[in-house]
Amino acid sequence: MLVIAAQVLAWMEAGLPANHLTCRFAPRPGVGIVHLGLGAFYRAFGAIYVAEAMAARGGDWGIVGVSLKSPGTRDALAAQGWAYTSVTLSPQGEEAKVIEVLQDVLVAPESPAAVVAAMADPGVKIVSLTVTEKGYCHNPATGALNQDHPDILHDLENQLPVSAVGFLVRGLAARRAAGLDPFTVLTCDNLPENGTLLRGIVLELARLIDPDLADWIAEKGRFPATMVDRITPATTDADIARVAEMTGRRDAAPVLHEPFRQWVIEDSFVNNDRPDFAAVGVQLVADVTAFEHMKLRMLNGTHSSLAYLGYLAGYETIADTMANPAFASFVERLWSEIMPAVATPPGTSLPDYARALKQRYANSAIRHRTWQIAMDGSQKLPQRLLGTLEANLQAGRPSPCLCLALAAWMRYVGGVDEAGQPIDVKDPLASRLRALSDAAGTPADKVTALLTVTEVFPPALAAQLHALVTAAAEQLWAIGAQASVETLGLGPAGLGPAKP
């Protein structure tokens, strides 16, 4: 232990000016949080807020991270004593900080019992999650648990789980057995009404395992909804080399992100036990819904639209896509279609939010690949695009740009780009989507076939969308993404001048 501590100190201090060292604690704090899913986003976002809240107001909120699949992040961080570099990238320059808030990292497949034990530790008050949309093992169109999911079938038959939901249920069961209160379950994924959704999924699995446990969770558990926002591309080998050059020190697991961040949390925690989030700018509110709709529809909805259309037009990153004036104008038109379907959250202006997003997307210091955002579309479309489309259909508002984005997803999941090259489509439904697309002949047939995927499209909405998306697809296949975007996107900008 002492040897590791000395190595880590050397690791942290070599090459970094003292004022770049932040969020270090001596003695180490106790563990108050178990976090499932230790990807770049959480380490660039939630972990930093927790570290800052502890630095500002104290408390034992050290974090035990859990990787649900592979040991890579644990192995990289172990050699660094769980510390890592966070780099803020902006056109004005870059700033590196060392974040030392993780106290341990567990790899669930290696030691599932240790993960359940960590959750059952009396000091732990919160279990948070960033496991991405597909990690919830649910049906994206209905929000219900997918009881046929292989991981859920496993977790129903075994004490030691593999799914995030399974770990939550077994962790809560262990606390109940020990006579402890439940932990607060804090979801940090981009899902609609994410707290309520996860509560429903956890209760459904718990009820199948032990109905009394489900009643206990329903009565005592807390599942606050959240809106999370910071653009954080996956870390690449080139990023690792760049950070080494910047800091003079090799970090095998740095995170690189934009300066902007926003976290809105429904203030509903078991026994009100949480870090002093308000002290570090987190918005604690009674109702997150308006913030969440704004973010999922205006940010993630346009992000996915730019990802599919930008990828098909040959762009590698969002910033590259935005550098094309037709796309920059097209995204404004998308916001004009989306804003009428979004309630304005307190203290916010939707046009200002859109203008700020435009700047964020144009940040060329961030290399956020269109391919990365295009991943898992079947899990993302309902909350990002379909809710907006449904609201516009009901109100009789046209949405040609959103329909084009949906058609672009359909072209993308066909697995062949406009130059005839294969696309590496990552999606839990990839092979089914590909088979449906391949079996259909014309673009119109492909639209008809893909709209039958009920995990994505509720049948009534599919029927309403059919003619509109068919028209968009016919144009997209005929003239390509670039020309389709030009057709819809060029012309005067849709957002009007910024407020002084």
Stretch 382-401 residues interacting with ligand CS2 (CB under 6 A): none
Q: Which residues pair with 422 in a beta bridge?
A: 416
Q: Are strands 102-107 and 31-36 parallel, antiparallel or unpaired?
A: unpaired
Distance CA 17, CA 28 (A): 22
373 binds ligand CS2 (CB under 6 A): yes
Work out how close the CB of 296 gets to ligand CS2 at its nearest, in angstroms, rounded to a whole number.
8
372 binds ligand CS2 (CB under 6 A): yes
CB-CB contact of 42 with 105 (8 Å):
no
End-to-end CA distance of the chain: 56
Which residue lies nearer to ligand CS2 by CB, 213 or 408?
A: 408
Work out how close the CB of 230 gets to ligand CS2 at its nearest, in angstroms, rounded to a whole number.
5
Which residue lies nearer to ligand CS2 by CB, 232 or 475?
A: 232
CB-CB contact of 299 with 236 (8 Å):
no
Work out how close the CB of 258 gets to ligand CS2 at its nearest, in angstroms, rounded to a whole number.
9
Which residue lies nearer to ligand CS2 by CB, 85 or 232?
A: 232
Contact segment (CB under 6 A) with ligand CS2 among 62-70, 163-171, 295-303, 389-397 equals 295-303
Q: CA nearest 413: which of 400, 401, 431?
A: 431
Tell me, by CB under 6 A, how many residues bind ligand CS2: 9
Contact segment (CB under 6 A) with ligand CS2 among 103-111, 297-305, 337-345, 408-416 equals 297-305
CB-CB contact of 85 with 23 (8 Å):
no
367 binds ligand CS2 (CB under 6 A): no
- The token pair at 203 is 């209760």
Contact segment (CB under 6 A) with ligand CS2 among 136-144, 210-218, 298-306, 328-336 equals 298-306
Distance CA 297, CA 384 (A): 5
Q: If you count them, how many residues does the chain have?
A: 500
Which residue lies nearer to ligand CS2 by CB, 45 or 84?
A: 45
Contact segment (CB under 6 A) with ligand CS2 among 85-93, 180-188, 197-205, 296-304 equals 296-304
Stretch 199-238 residues interacting with ligand CS2 (CB under 6 A): 229-231
Work out how close the CB of 232 gets to ligand CS2 at its nearest, in angstroms, rounded to a whole number.
7
Work out how close the CB of 212 gets to ligand CS2 at its nearest, in angstroms, rounded to a whole number.
37
Which residue lies nearer to ligand CS2 by CB, 67 or 190?
A: 190
Work out how close the CB of 3 gets to ligand CS2 at its nearest, in angstroms, rounded to a whole number.
38
289 binds ligand CS2 (CB under 6 A): no
Which residue lies nearer to ligand CS2 by CB, 28 or 358?
A: 358
Which residue lies nearer to ligand CS2 by CB, 82 or 263?
A: 263
Which residue lies nearer to ligand CS2 by CB, 170 or 293?
A: 293
Per-position x/- string for 317-356, each x denoting binding to ligand CS2 as judged by CB under 6 A, each - no binding? ----------------------------------------
Exposure letters 123-152 (e unless 16+ CB within 10 A, then b)? ebbbbbbbbbbbbbbbbbbebebbeebebb
Question: Residue 386: phi, psi to the nearest 5?
Answer: -70, -35
Stretch 237-266 residues interacting with ligand CS2 (CB under 6 A): none
Which residue lies nearer to ligand CS2 by CB, 184 or 226?
A: 226
Work out how close the CB of 77 gets to ligand CS2 at its nearest, in angstroms, rounded to a whole number.
21
Work out how close the CB of 199 gets to ligand CS2 at its nearest, in angstroms, rounded to a whole number.
21
Work out which of 303, 355, 367, 369 binds ligand CS2, going by CB under 6 A: 303
190 binds ligand CS2 (CB under 6 A): yes
Phi-psi label, residue 287: left if phi above 0, alpha if psi -120 to 50, beta otherwise: beta
- The token pair at 129 is 């999650």
Work out how close the CB of 362 gets to ligand CS2 at its nearest, in angstroms, rounded to a whole number.
14
Which residue lies nearer to ligand CS2 by CB, 216 or 371?
A: 371
Which residue lies nearer to ligand CS2 by CB, 47 or 468?
A: 47
Q: CA nearest 253: which of 109, 44, 17?
A: 44
Distance CA 72, CA 435 (A): 33
Which residue lies nearer to ligand CS2 by CB, 40 or 168?
A: 40
Stretch 80-109 residues interacting with ligand CS2 (CB under 6 A): none
Can you give the binding site for ligand CS2, defined by CB under 6 A?
190, 229-231, 299-300, 303, 372-373
